[in-house]
Structure 1
Amino acid sequence: MSALQKSIMKSKLPPRCPRSFKQKLAPFGMSRCKNYQPESWKRFFHRTEDVETEGGTFRVYLTSEPDHPLRPRIVTLHGGGYSGLSWALFAEEVTYMVHCQVISIDIRGHGETQAKDPDDMSAETLVKDVEQVLQKLFGDEMPPLILVGHSMGGAIAVRAAHLPSLQHYVQGLVVIDVVEGTAMEALASMQSFLRGRPTHFKSIRHAIEWCVRSGQVRNVSSARVSMPSQIVNVETGLLATRELEDMSVDDSEADGAPLARADSIAEEDEPPESPDDLEPQPEPARVKHDEPVFVKPSEDLKRYKWRIDLSGTERHWAGWFRGLSALFLSAPAPRLLLLASIDGLDRELTVGQMQGKFQMQVLTRCGHAVHEDTPEEVARVVAAFALRHRLTSATESGENMNLVAAPGC
């Protein structure tokens, strides 16, 4: 009898599905038009805290505190260009499944964090930032920690797990879609990728639409929360998330409306165009695959730009990932590696995985932002990992969800 059958026999009911999965279901006959309206972080996190350290002021998003001080804190570290809000849906899911608190940090140069030297993005500085933020939050009463990092954040999490001040408290290490070998190979094409991104957006809603249509994040619900924390208002210099409370949507920006030509997104390194070229042009009779036609916007449409200039951090890229595989394999805490593709595994980790040195899970139907594309699946795997190593216990809701690790590779 399978584990699923046993669960059904035990409870007389099928296992409950994740909350976000339920929210995706719509009544038969309803429109499938996507909603690009931004959403506040307040639905997913209980509160925020601005933590003062010698490096600056760091924004931290926190879910509700657990019912016992020895429950683990899941410390999430985002990738380059993202923010702490990229973990919003994951935080909602994992706290629904197991007893824990999620602590999501805006890394230096990202989100609402204001560092004294935002250009210093070296691996050593970023790791020191995480250490100081956690020490400020908990002082001498450091709780058990599960470090979870995506991409650049994964490299920071691995290094933080080796810190003498945190090593005793880190009881779990989860790295999402970053491997030293493939990351180092990808650095050569990173600048070309960044040049292909838009430089400005007409509105927050259009930034969210680009985020989804470009494939940066495939989950609309996650993009609605995380994308506003990655762009700033050109005039005020403030993060777009600050504008959400007073935001209203015009009739002209009804949900699901495609980007118009005049609302287009500028690409870097494009030659200047004449004023006539910037005016709206008649739409073609039919656009292939219903994709919007982008042209260079006029200056009054350049209302938002990226929070961080990732191309300016190039000198630090190699330092983030060099030696990552060896450090991951030697981390004292139990280790979990989540990948979007089995092809991303390098030789050192392949040998380590065959020797059973860490748990690995490959999640399909997602892109690089695994935790945003499939937050319920990532939460389920992380929850099962925590339960397997007896770091916490399942919630009443999680007990009926068959929280066992999926077949590993």
Structure 2
Amino acid sequence: MSDLQKAWAKSRLSSGMSPDAFDEREEEEDGYLTEMPEPTFEDDSSSASSASSTGTIIPSPSRNLFARPQGVPRGRTLQQIPWTTYFERELFLKTEDAPSSPTLHAYLISPVDKGPLFVMHHGAGSSGLSFAVVGSEIRKRQPSAGILSADARGHGSTTNPDSDKLDLSLATLSKDLLSVIKSTKEEMKWKELPSIILVGHSLGGAVVTELAMSGALGNALLGYVVLDVVEGSAMDALQSMQTYLSTRPNGFATLEAGIEWHVRSRTIRNSVSARTSVPALLSQDEVRTDSRPWKWRTDLASTQPFWENWFVGLSKKFLGARGGKLLLLAGTDRLDTELTIGQMQGKYALQVFPEAGHFIHEDLPEKTAVSLVDFHRRNDRSALVLPPKVSDLLRQGKKV
């Protein structure tokens, strides 16, 4: 509020109006915060945090991290958006009888009639709600489509009885995703699996590629989509990952503060998506030993023994697995040599969104949804009209 406005407000005291009331009106009229300068990168060579789903940038200490970005609503508008806004149900799937096996958690919108099922896998440190907003955008464009978005071990609402010995190897995560798909089929009493498009972000891209490479889904798999991760840049980014993780806050005073940090730091550039996905990344410390009781649900630093296992050989598997292939990137600098050659040979489709950060699907849910729906339509075998067989024509008495 300017000095002139304050003087005006004080002059109204005699009439019973408080200067604070003027402040409240001004805040309502503003509605949004002012622009924050684009942050710089400590490592501008590639996707500096492709191994992590809690960030794509490493802000420079010289920049004001908490400047006000345009379009970030204040106050109540940073409150959590519940998962029920986007999904019809959540599933708790016990896939094995062993006491140490996890109870896998997933969110679901069922496909309609013969609609496809988009099966989503998030990146390290994230959760199935990372795909909530883009899932709703897919449904707007293809109402018959279903969305199945799972929480990996040690993430979201998936519970792990033996959490001290958490197995996050690529083979285990791929097996878990297959179990989620098959268990959902049984839970929902589907006669057969619908046509499936696998979609994975960062670590999730490695998981869906591994599952596609295994051939375990058979003819149900139409294709797979990888979001902003390639082997070369991911392996390079691992060298600075611990440094990046050390720059993150250890916790937050409130859930809204956690949401606000993700938007202000431009980790997630869409406030609606941040309000939906960030709450699943945090859990409240019941003991409350400090002033920031909201802690990270997943200890990413402890997953370091698995980092190399996630991404080694990713490019070769991505190009070699059966089914349609789509790679969505936030920049062409992320392409490694093998994928560059494969793209020139037309082995997969590539789309680049330079205005997005690492979380392409959260930053640009509408554009991502358009790409995913178009990808399904290009690979949808049910839309093919095959010519009649010669034997059938002869039986009908027609000349051939």
Q: How many pairs are equivalent?
A: 303
CA spacing shift, 1:132–1:182, aligned 2, 3 Å: same
SS of residue matched to 1:115: coil
State the shift of 1:365 in Å.
1.2
**What do the CA deviations read for 1:310-346 (whole angstroms, capped 9, x no partner)?**
0000000000000000000011000000000011000
Query: Who is 1:95 aligned against?
Result: 139
Q: Is 1:159 aligned to residue 214 of structure 2?
A: no
Larger RCO (alpha carbons 8 Å, 6+ apart):
1
| CA contact 2:173–2:207 (8 Å) conserved in 1 | yes
Aligned to 1:36: 78
d(CA) in 2 for partners of 1:142 and 1:117?
31
> Is contact 1:71-1:392 (8 Å) kept?
no
Q: Which whole-Å CA distance do the structure 2 matches of 1:83 and 1:210 have between them?
A: 18
More displaced 10-residue stretch of structure 1: 136-145 or 188-197 = 136-145
**Contact kept? 2:222, 2:380, Cα under 8 Å:** no
Residue of structure 1 in register with 2:159 after alignment: 114
Contact 1:145 1:171 (8 Å CA) reproduced:
yes
Residue 60 of structure 2 corresponds to: none
* Structure 1: 5+ residue stretches without partners: 1-28, 237-297, 394-409
**Which residue identity lines up with residue 225 of structure 2 in the other structure?**
V
Alignment correspondent of 1:316: 306
Displacement of 1:167 after TM fit?
A: 3.4
Deviations 1:55-80 (A, max 9, x none): 311111012x2321x32110000000
Q: What letter matches 1:71 in structure 2?
A: G
1:327-386: CA deviation from partner (whole Å, max 9, x where unpaired):
000110000000000110000000000000000000121100110000001001111111
Alignment of 1:314-353 (within 5 A): 314-353=304-343
Q: Identify the residue that residue 292 of structure 2 maps to in structure 1.
A: 302
Contact preservation (8 Å) 1:100, 1:392: no
Q: Which residue identity lines up with residue 59 of structure 1 in the other structure?
A: H
In the alignment, what sits opposite 1:294? none
Tell me the distance in 1 between the aligned counterparts of 2:291 and 2:218: 49
Name 1:83's counterpart in structure 2: 127
Whole-Å separation in 2 of the counterparts to 1:37 and 1:173: 33
Structure 2 residue aligned with 1:274: none
Q: Shift of residue 392 of structure 1?
A: 7.3
Structure 2: state its 5+ residue gaps.
1-28, 34-72, 384-400
**Residues 76 and 105, structure 1, Cα contact 8 Å, conserved in 2:** yes
Q: Which amino acid aligns with 2:155?
A: H
Residue 71, structure 1, aligned to residue 115, structure 2:
yes
Q: Is contact 1:231–1:307 with CA below 8 Å preserved after alignment? A: yes
Give, in whole Å, the separation in 2 of the partners of 1:47 and 1:108: 20
Structure 1 equivalent of residue 220 of structure 2: 169
Larger radius of gyration: 2
1:107 maps to a residue whose letter is A
- Contact residue 112 and residue 146 of structure 2 kept, 8 A: no
TM-score, reference length from structure 1:
0.71
**CA 1:235–1:125: 2 relative to 1, 3 Å:** same
Q: Cα 1:93–1:217, aligned 2, differ >3 Å: closer, same or farther? A: same
- What's 1:280 paired with? none
In the aligned structure 1, how far is the partner of 2:373 from the partner of 2:312?
A: 29
Question: Whole-Å Cα distance in 2 between the matches of residues 135 and 42 of structure 1?
Answer: 23
Q: What code does the residue aligned with 2:153 have?
A: R
The corresponding residue for 2:94 is 52
C-alpha deviation, 1:391, in angstroms:
5.5
Over the matched positions of the two proteins, sequence identity in percent amounts to 42
Superposed CA deviations along residues 238-268 of structure 1, whole A, max 9, x for unmatched, are xxxxxxxxxxxxxxxxxxxxxxxxxxxxxxx
TM-score by length of 2: 0.73
CA offset digits 1:177-204 (Å, max 9, x no partner): 0000000011000000001101111000
Query: Map of 1:6-405 to 2, 5 A cutoff?
Result: 31-33=31-33, 34=73, 35-54=77-96, 55-63=101-109, 65-68=110-113, 70-98=114-142, 99-118=144-163, 119-139=166-186, 141-235=192-286, 299-390=289-380
Deviations 1:190-227 (A, max 9, x none): 00000110111100000000111112101100000100
Question: Hey, what's the Cα distance between the residues in 1 that align with 2:268 and 2:313?
Answer: 28
Amino acid at match of 1:31: G
Letter matched to residue 139 of structure 2: T
Deviation at 1:299, TM superposition (A): 4.6
- 1:319 maps to a residue whose letter is N
Counterpart Cα distance in 2 of 1:300 and 1:193 = 23
Letter in 1 for 2:134: F
| Counterparts of 1:229 and 1:332, CA distance in 2 | 33
Q: CA deviation at 1:115?
A: 2.4
SS of match in other structure, 2:78: coil
Residue 50 of structure 1 and its aligned partner are, at CA, apart by 0.7
Secondary structure of the 1:82 match is coil
The CA RMSD over aligned residues, in Å, is 1.8
- CA separation in 2, counterparts of 1:109 and 1:209? 24
SS in 2 for 1:168: helix
Q: Secondary structure at the match of 1:338?
A: strand
